[in-house]
Structure 1
Amino acid sequence: MASPLLLSILLCFNLSTVHGAGNGSFVTVPSSSFEPETVCSGAIVKPEQNGSTVYVPLVHRHGPCAPSLSTNTPSFAVMFRRSHARLNYIVSGATRGMETYGDGKKVSVPAHLGTSVNSLEYVAKVSFGTPALPQIVVIDTGSDLSWLQCKPCSSGQCSPQKDPLFDPSHSSTYSAVPCLSDECKKLTADAYGSGCTNGKPCGFAISYADVTSTVGTYSKNKLTLAPGTIVKNFYFGCGHSKSSVRHLFDGLLGLGRLSESLGAQYGGGGFSYCLPAVNSKPGFLALGARRNPSGFVFTPMGRVPGQPTFSTVTLSGITVGGKKLDLRPSAFSGGMIVDSGTVVTGLQSTAYRALRSAFRKAMEAYRLVPHGDLDTCYNLTGYKNVVVPKIAMTFSGGATINLDVPNGILVNGCLAFAESGQDGSTGVLGNVNQRTFEVLFNTSASKFGFRAKAC
């Protein structure tokens, strides 16, 4: 049996050989950096100030800076399973829905992504009505229509939440949208309407991929995003019945591309966000025009045929540990939806397998362990430091982002990528890879921006 000294020498030799010591393509990080913080360490960091941009603190639902939404934080296995189901739903382009009744006729409501499989991760605190009532809402780039749970709501018809249900009768600025209004017609055209009866308020209904749903009155009210920043007539759904969504948040802010989204209603569609690397401090959601933003790299923004809510980027290359993977452009031809609610990134088959092979080779000093939903996970117990290869993603037009190490690459010891489908299918850029970047959605110019080390 080899002596401990010999084993130590062999391990050091292996690390220096595999990781190319000194070439800057690998980063040595303390193993403690993989663990979430337990104390909220600071206030929101605002990147730049101008009169047309508002910044809303953005926190992880289960981090120390979040409001107390739930007493039971889901395990990583459960979170990955939900994220994988959400990823599968996105790339499948599946459509199914619910049936409601309006004017005595059955109405079919297509399923939207939204809270599908409960994998949404980030929340913000905003206020609705006059007087302003604080509400905790999840943010979602995979949904357009924003909604709250509202009174009246019969026992068992609405889900438990930390804050009191929003009561529209107590808000002097609230009004229901009329049934025959242009806004109601647009809602129906965008597949969020639930039927309409003349003389009654406009109804909305959303059915999600996991068979959850919310139904109620399409409404408008004052939305306070931050002190002194108000959307006077913000259109949203006031839900009086909600099924099977039981995570104690109060509602949802949709950040998709359709006119019902928050981005479209405030600032004409442009917004950005920054998801922090660890859960110890807030990131931010920035709404409104950004005049000549500096520090960004830009890439064209695409769309998904038949799914107008989503925005896409197109990869042109991936680098692991300083070596560019040998991949043809066809490996990325389906594009990637940029999604705030999916945890791990879904890559097309050829690209994912090449990335996995290169990453495993670079991490061969560490023991692979089975996980179930993810296939490249490591047991890092007992290591004071871990050597992690850098991963860079290059998009069409040449924009390159170097993922944060380790929190933008590994989550709970697992590579934050999964296989999403065959070449030519649509992939998903998940929120782990987006950490620490300000991700700018400039829908008017049809481009994405990425600014490194923004939060």
Structure 2
Amino acid sequence: MKSGVILVFCLLCLSLSVSPSWGSDDRRQKWWKWPSTGKSICSSVVLPLYGNVYPQGFYYAQIHIGHPPRPYFLDPDTGSDLTWLQCDAPCVRCTQAPHPYYKPNNDLVPCKDPLCASLHSGDHRCDDEPDQCDYEVEYADGGSSLGVLINDVSLLNLTTGVRVVARLAIGCGYDQIPGPSYQPLDGVLGLGKGKTGIVSQLHSQGLIRNVVGHCFSSRGGGFLFFGDDIYDPSRIISTPMSRDYTKHYSPGYGEIIYGGKATGLKNLLVIFDSGSSYTYLSSKAYEGLLNKVTEELRGKPIQEALDDETLPFCWKGRRPFRSMRDVKMYFKPLALSFSSGWRSKTQFEIPLEGYLLISAKGSVCLGVLNGTEVGLQNFNVIGDISMQDKMVIYDNEKQTIGWTPANCDRPPRSDTMTI
């Protein structure tokens, strides 16, 4: 949705077979591929992340697609399913991208393919173009992508040290409308729950378990992972995914806690969304939180910085703020409390760094925005700023969302046991 640890080493669980070499010399490099058995294996894919919440305003992953493989920078988005690249095809509207546009092949996904049907709600018909799957995806910020679904291969490294060539259905986008939060990337990496999500596709081929997670560093960068073998489940705080709202990764309804005390701001439908840089609350919850923060600041040597337009609400002190240490006496930590079962609750803790930032002008700004004003209606979105320095795990097999504090500056490697 656009509005951007423990490594357990396991033995190879299935026999290997050789796939065609992509190198010029077969003796130098072999490329391995798992046979498609429909079974999950004990391995993961780990991708480095680049970027930051501020000042860039987005994170991105690099993924290699095509034959031969070419690199592309994609926005990792748990709020949407389809992975698409801006295509080197006759464009209606082409947006700026850091790499040459993706050159499509002729391996079109037919309209009758189940993956195509999963992209269309309601009555899916194939009368006009039976041999191809047209798609259109729209994002919460008003942006969209229009194109055709094709099959291509992606080069991925497993944590077991094995390199795989996975066949994926991706979007060849030839008409993009950028929303206000658009960033100049090559496309979107869809990490959602649907069948076209990259994790679902890799899982259906028996490469990984149906688990995706990320670790955003507050210092910039981090890592993204598919599969479940890079963390210790005993260290994870988790809550069930909502059974009533299944379109996105949602723990259901939550309550805002400020400074360890209940605020009365509850029954908030919450979504975890890595495609959103900031956290968004519906109007009533946003105004309520802003009132709590303003009340806490009353009588302290800090005032609203009307000349700082970094975010809607910024405050300045007697001297410019340089770090969160300078503002910890003025603000209190946040948390979201979720019901995890009968009389059981879990808390997603949000420290100062998880909802505040220091601007270039030395002000401290509120990284929580009014979601109703940007078209999110009554949804409350936990964005990247509030997930920094945490490993966040979306386990589609256990139907849970989990998290734990983590050093996101050190991604796991295939030849190490722990980080």
- TM normalised by structure 2 equals 0.70
The equivalent residue for 1:151 is 88
**Deviation per residue, 1:92-111 (Å, 9 max, x gap):** xxxxxxxxxxxxxxxxxxxx
Distance 2:104 2:388 in 1: 37
Is the CA contact 1:304–1:311 (under 8 Å) kept in the aligned structure 2? no
Amino acid at match of 2:148: T
* CA distance in structure 1 between the partners assigned to 2:256 and 2:177 by the alignment: 42
- Give the counterpart of 1:289 among 195, 204, 228: 228
- Aligned residue in 2 for 1:125: 62
Q: 1:417 to 1:150 in 2, by over 3 A?
A: closer
Contact 1:333–1:425 (CA under 8 A) maintained in structure 2: no
Given that 1:194 and 1:203 are in contact with CA atoms closer than 8 Å, whether structure 2 keeps it comes out as no
Residue 238 of structure 2 is aligned to residue 298 of structure 1 = yes
Distance in 1 (alpha carbons) for counterparts of 2:354 and 2:76 = 21
Q: Return the match for 1:260 from 196, 201, 212.
A: 196
Q: Deviations over 1:26-65 (max 9, x none)?
A: xxxxxxxxxxxxxxxxxxxx742435122111122687xx
> Residues 263 and 167 of structure 1: is their aligned pair in 2 closer, same or farther, counting only changes over 3 Å?
same
Give the deviation of 1:135 after TM superposition.
0.8
Relative to structure 1, is the Cα distance of residues 53 and 379 closer, same or farther in structure 2, using a 3 angstrom cutoff? same
Rate the CA distance shift 1:293–1:317 in 2: closer, same or farther, 3 A. same
Instruction: Tell me: CA distance 1:203–1:355, structure 2 relative to 1, closer, same or farther (3 Å).
Output: closer
Partner of residue 247, structure 2: 308
Asked whether the 8 Å contact 1:304–1:310 carries over to 2, the reply is no
Summarize the Cα distance change of 1:195–1:367 in structure 2 as closer, same or farther, 3 Å threshold. Answer: farther
In 2, the alpha carbon distance for the partners of 1:316 and 1:255 equals: 26
CA RMSD, Structure 1 to Structure 2 (Å): 3.4
Letter in 1 for 2:399: S
SS in 2 for 1:399: strand
- Percentage of identical aligned residues: 24
Question: What's the counterpart of residue 9 of structure 1?
Answer: none
| Shift in Å, 1:178 | 2.2
Residue 149 of structure 1 deviates from its aligned partner by 1.8
Q: Which runs of 5+ in 1 are unaligned?
A: 1-45, 64-72, 80-120
Match for residue 403 of structure 1 among 350, 356, 375: 350
| Change beyond 3 A, Cα 1:294–1:214 | same
- Give ranges in structure 2 of 5+ residues lacking alignment: 10-41, 204-208, 409-419
Counterpart amino acid of residue 324 in structure 1: K
- Contact 1:272/1:285, CA 8 A, preserved across alignment: yes
- Alpha carbons of structure 1 residues 421 and 232: separation in structure 2 relative to 1, 3 Å: closer
More helix by share: 1
Q: CA deviation at 1:217?
A: 2.3
Corresponding position of 1:387:
327
CA offset at residue 350 of structure 1? Answer: 5.6
Shift of 1:383: 4.7
Residues 149-179 of structure 1 deviation map (CA, whole Å, 9 limit, x = unaligned): 223335x64323221222234xxxx721123
TM-score normalised by the chain length of structure 1: 0.65
> Which of 315, 328, 337 in structure 1 is aligned with 2:271?
337
Structure 2 residue corresponding to 1:163, chosen from 99, 108, 112: 99
Alignment-mate amino acid for residue 334 of structure 1:
L
- Paired residues in the alignment total 341
